Chains A and B, each alone.
Chain A
């Protein structure tokens, strides 16, 4: 309990004094995760719309695969990305290992199935509603997908925020592909793991509280930016 209290106090002071190291790793956490989220959304949302609209032979298999991949252990993703990006791996020449880019790649891999699955569920429901109308209007596949994506944008925001939550709190994969290098690839979660390893539970907890605060702040910010709460309903 002492550690818990110390952690809260320390978190308070770190934030109040705008501790330089804290600001740096928090900004990096945000930058890596928001980049990953943006890329993952660009991949996952159209994929979800495609799966909702298009009937093809392996559709069910693809959906089942996505759902299964939601539970993919991040460490495994980290290891795969590591092997691919290692100097002796197929993409070694790019020199991406132990860079924030590698961390973005790992996080994208982790959250695409999650975002696509959640997005697909809401798009599928909306497609059920719109199906007759859009078929009757004889619009193209692309138009169907765009219509669903636009009209379900609030639900898609929820999917994106779920992806953000998973990515910002992830440590296993980015530890492996980022290497937790001070001033280069250290982010909040890897710093927490490091401080825990040093037995400095109070600092680790303080960083944990900052992480939670950051996640809440981003959620609120995105919600208010998109005015979800005020318009209500949809």
Chain B
């Protein structure tokens, strides 16, 4: 099996109804640790993640995975800001991506139980997913994304609507996944979270990558004036 990474974007952009959402972007991801995507509202964070994930159409430039497009789609997952719950039980939500990949029912169930336990939903296997609390839903969405063992996980502000306790739980799960070798690409507005999880930072402004630095260096002293202003809170 060929390696998934690197992911290479060259002058990549995506547009909708003639309006450019992000790009042109030149970036090469090696798939190690957690890449945090930050920037003000409307900078194109979500669009960039979708473009990488393959759910936004590439309207210019090029985007290449080490193993090729079609296969890459099978080796990654995405967690949305507002988790989409299938109108099924917690267990069935977890089993769904496995069943869709042809995993046998019994095996899918067993795995679902393990993952429910791992994210703290072990007691809620039979509950209908849409009636869970916000934090529980995001944990479920995260477990449902990780259950297929993705090599890269895209996260679009996964904790934006959550309280502190739920955020801590989510971050613990993410740290564990990272330690297990899953690359993370996460958009976030929470600079504390970016510091806690990030290994490197992509700073986006007006659809372009303005700065790319290791996380520690970025937060201690960003190179560009825009990033400095952003961190000061002058650009939001």
Q: What is the interface of chain A, defined by CB distance below 8 A to chain B?
A: 126, 129-130, 132-133, 135-139, 143, 147, 151-152, 233-234
Contact = CB atoms under 8 A, between A and B. Distances in A.
11 contacts: A129-B84, A133-B80, A136-B53, A137-B77, A137-B96, A137-B100, A138-B54, A138-B73, A151-B88, A234-B128, A234-B130
Given A129-B84, A132-B84, A151-B87, A233 B128 contact: yes
B109 to A, nearest CB: 17
Interface in B146-195: none
A158 B97 CA distance: 28
Interface string B33-54: 0000000000000000000011
A136 B55 contact: yes
A136 B87 CA distance: 17
B128 A137 contact: no
Contact of B84 (A133, A138, A139, A234): A133
Contact of A139 (B54, B77, B88, B100): B100
A138 B87 contact: no
Given A138-B74, A139-B100, A233-B130, 14 more contacts: A130-B86, A132-B80, A132-B84, A133-B84, A133-B86, A136-B53, A136-B78, A138-B54, A147-B86, A151-B88, A152-B87, A233-B128, A233-B131, A234-B128
A151 B84 contact: no
Nearest to B131: A233
A132 B55 contact: yes
Interface of B: 53-55, 73-74, 77-78, 80, 84, 86-88, 96-97, 100, 128, 130-131
Contact of B55 (A129, A130, A135): A135
9 pairs of A and B residues whose beta carbons are closest in the complex: A133-B84, A136-B78, A151-B87, A138-B73, A139-B100, A135-B55, A234-B87, A143-B100, A137-B97
Most A-side CB within 10 Å, residue of B74, B86, B97, B128: B86
Nearest to B73: A138
Contacts of B130: 233-234
B100 A151 contact: no
B77 to A, nearest CB: 7
B78 to A, nearest CB: 4
Contacts of B53: 136
A128 to B, nearest CB: 11
Contacts of A137: 77, 96-97, 100
A143 B100 CA distance: 7
Contacts of A130: 84, 86
Contacts of B80: 132-133, 136
Contacts of B97: 137
B51 to A, nearest CB: 13
Contacts of B77: 136-137
A51 to B, nearest CB: 20
A35 to B, nearest CB: 30
A151 B84 CA distance: 13
A135 B100 CA distance: 12
A64 to B, nearest CB: 24
Contacts of A143: 100
Contacts of B73: 138
B18 to A, nearest CB: 19
A192 to B, nearest CB: 41
Contacts of A233: 128, 130-131
